Chains A and B, each alone.
Chain A
């Protein structure tokens, strides 16, 4: 039970092994395998109710899985920002940091230095006396990330750190995230933005609690079967089921190897296309299976 995996030292990575989580009748996670490497950023993407938050809660230790295994460092070496920043609205920025520092047993001088440095990096050094509840949404998210990474955790778990945040604050947040990874943390973040997921070294796409795709963004794109074409109007008939709107035009996926259904040219898919295609393929397969069973 204690032997490390082939080619990996013990404790080299954190993640889940065949984890399932059931809430009553709902299967929130369905046999999910996931690994987060130190020094890398891993993104967990998926639609609403895909199981992202459940997976992150398992990783952070807030939730015990129904079955399977979670590999995570000790509590002292884990950092977690729950959805909605997890800061105390009635404490000031500095007080929020002080509470974390004490709870994670960071020496006061170290906490002061590191806090000041992170606040400056996030542009929050001018508002240390302000109540967290009086910060803008983006500032509060940045504070949430800073408090979660203050103690230099080995595993940093961030639930939607950039949701509802303006582009400038998003850039700040990514600076913080990159900093944590550069410090050696395995960073896991949930996001709804696929362009953001492309910046991560590893991506896990969840759909209805199970893995839809995983790997680097390039690997996921390369693994896409069939071809993608762009048209001005939605194609009629069967092809219409495999079409979706993006940036004002219609994209049509053809599972076959040769270009076909669309009247426009074939396009190189990006991560967003690949994920949409994967979800579409699963949906069509499910619909076909249902039709056959009837």
Chain B
């Protein structure tokens, strides 16, 4: 048994990446779950519209944080604010009791808003009864939940899940497909074949791209038909977002495989990249609940932006014009990742020495060197 233990530790010491994973992973999980894993909503961005907007804003206590007050605006404006993600709650005042609009696509924020509102109402009712009369009853607002009126979990999970599926196919499966060439010893064959690195690169990506697109269609199709998730926005905007997002995840997959020696390492690295995306992208825990010290990581993760796009388009029918930010960041991430991936891939196909120069094909000999080479049949130099 001792022999096995010693051997195992020696192997483990050689595999630095596994060792790092064993030490880094618990720390990462601790940080993520310690700071990020929270369903508690402490602030709810709120806007107020209509003639009594200022008074209404004044009445709202914590957790509502009033970000905009527009007495000259109406319900349509308020709805737009929710659709475009500027606020989670909007108070519309006018004739009669005020109306509170809540964005149901932000599930936990919406639930917190409803809970706070009913608590405030109960309090107001109690104080109103104590003051006997007054305007307490008149202030009882009408609550309308938009985009996800039933507050269904599946409605917000399935658009996000579509992104997770793309991460799995794009990053994990792609990273395996490329590193396999190295392990089976066929990489060197590819390097000498009359194929351009670009052809090999694209040839590697296109099949996974096709499979991921099919997967996406299945997830969205099943979500809409089986779980009744609405698809309110433009299919074209959604497709464009998915396309950009796929480029980023496939690029990450290629990047991982080009820095991995074997499939085991590729899997480990893929998980290191995938797990934070699932936990920190706002898919499960609301972004606003993640501690600011950790939240910046969220903004480096492509899934964060795809979540914004897919929920925005599917649930709130957000147009491209209001989604320009996530689109821009996805495009930037894509450009960075793809450039790195294709550079690494080129190096990967020419593993040992720089190309060109002395190794250029079809180099013609000088007369002197050809003459020397012709004399190669002379007896060997044994001394």
- A residues near B (Cβ < 8 Å) are 1-8, 10, 13, 15, 17-18, 21, 23, 33-35, 57-58, 60-76, 78, 80, 82-90, 103-105, 202, 205, 211-216, 219-220, 222-223, 225, 277-278, 281-282, 285
What's the dominant secondary structure at chain B's contact region? loop
Q: Which residues of A contact B184 (CB under 8 A)?
A: 88-90
Distance between Cα atoms of A90 and B177 in the complex (Å): 12
Distance, CA A84 to CA B182, complexed state (A) = 12
Residues from chain A with a CB closer than 8 A to the CB of B131 are none
Verify B367–A5 contact, CB threshold 8 A. yes
Establish whether residues A6 and B371, one from each chain, have CB atoms under 8 Å apart when the complex forms: yes
Residues of A near B372 (CB, < 8 A) are 17-18, 33
Q: Is B194 an interface residue (CB 8 A)?
A: yes
In the assembled complex, the Cα of A81 lies from the Cα of B380 at a distance in Å of 28
Contact indicator B379/A215 (Cβ below 8 Å): yes
**A107–B185 Cα gap in the complex (Å)?**
27
- Given A15-B373, A211-B380, A61:B192 Cβ within 8 A: yes
The 5 closest A-B pairs by CB, nearest first: A5-B370, A213-B380, A64-B359, A223-B379, A75-B194
Within B342-378, the residues touching A (CB, 8 Å) are 350, 352-359, 361-367, 369-374, 376-378
* Cα-based distance from A78 to B191 in the complex (angstroms): 12
Q: Give Cα A36–Cα B364 distance, bound, in whole angstroms.
A: 15
Known: A4-B364, A103-B195. 8 other contacts (CB 8 A): A33-B373, A61-B192, A63-B353, A70-B358, A76-B194, A103-B194, A215-B376, A215-B377
CB pair A67–B380 under 8 Å, yes or no, is: no
20 examples of A-B residue contacts, CB within 8 angstroms: A2-B364, A3-B364, A5-B374, A15-B373, A17-B365, A17-B373, A18-B372, A33-B372, A62-B191, A64-B357, A69-B358, A73-B361, A76-B194, A88-B186, A103-B193, A202-B377, A205-B380, A214-B376, A215-B379, A282-B383
Q: For residue B40, which residues in chain A have a CB less than 8 angstroms away from its CB?
A: none
Cβ of B380: which chain A residues have Cβ within 8 Å of it?
205, 211-215, 220, 223, 278
> Are B194's CB and A58's CB within 8 A?
no
Residues of B in contact with A, size category: 35 or more
A75 and B365 contact, Cβ closer than 8 Å, known pairs A84-B185, A214-B377, A215-B379: no
Flag whether B95 is at the interface (Cβ < 8 A): no
* Bound CA span A285–B382, Å: 9
Assembled-state Cα–Cα distance A10/B382 (Å): 31
Contact for A63 among B352, B367, B377, CB less than 8 A:
B352
Q: Which of B356, B371, B373, B381 has the most CB of A within 10 A?
A: B373
Please state if B192 and A278 are interface contacts (CB–CB under 8 Å): no
Contact call A278/B382, Cβ cutoff below 8 A: yes
User: Any chain A CB within 8 A of the CB of B261?
Assistant: no
B189 touches A8 (CB 8 A): no
With A1-B364, A69-B369, A84-B185 known as contacts, the answer to whether A64 contacts B358 (CB < 8 A) is yes
Please give the distance in Å from A252's CB to the nearest CB on chain B: 17
Interface residue from A17, A104, A216 paired with B369 (Cβ < 8 Å): A17
B363 touches A10 (CB 8 A): no
B15: Cβ under 8 A from any A Cβ: no
Residues of A within 8 A of B364 (CB): 1-4, 10, 71
> Are A66 and B373 in contact (CB-based, < 8 A)?
no
| Cβ distance A115 to chain B, nearest Cβ, rounded Å | 17
- A5 and B371 within 8 A (CB): yes
| Complex interface residues of chain B between 291 and 337 (CB less than 8 A to chain A) | none
Q: Are B355 and A64 interface neighbours, CB within 8 A?
A: yes
A213 touches B379 (CB 8 A): yes
Our pick among B189, B357, B363, B367 for the contact of A80 (Cβ within 8 Å) is B189
Contact A18 B369 (CB under 8 A): yes
Q: Specify which chain B residues have a CB less than 8 angstroms from the CB of A71 in the assembled complex.
A: 362-365
Does A225 contact B382, Cβ atoms closer than 8 Å?
A: yes
- Cβ–Cβ contact A75 & B382, under 8 A: no
Chain B residues within an 8 Å CB radius of A35: 373-374, 376
Q: A226 to B299, alpha carbons, bound, how many Å?
A: 78
| B residues less than 8 Å from A89 (CB atoms) | 184
Q: Complex Cα distance A246/B108, Å?
A: 83
- In the complex, what residues of B have CB within 8 A of residue A23's CB? 352
**Quick one: closest A residue to B368, CB to CB?**
A5
Closest Cβ of chain B to A57, distance in Å, is 7
- The complex places the Cα of A17 from the Cα of B370 at a distance, in Å, of 8
Known A5-B371, A18-B369, A60-B192; contact A86-B185, beta-carbon cutoff 8 A: yes
Inter-chain contact A86/B379, CB cutoff 8 Å: no
B192's contact among A13, A65, A75, A216, by CB below 8 Å, is which?
A: A75
B233 nearest CB across to chain A (Å): 41
**A residues in contact with B365, CB < 8 Å:** 4-5, 17, 69, 71
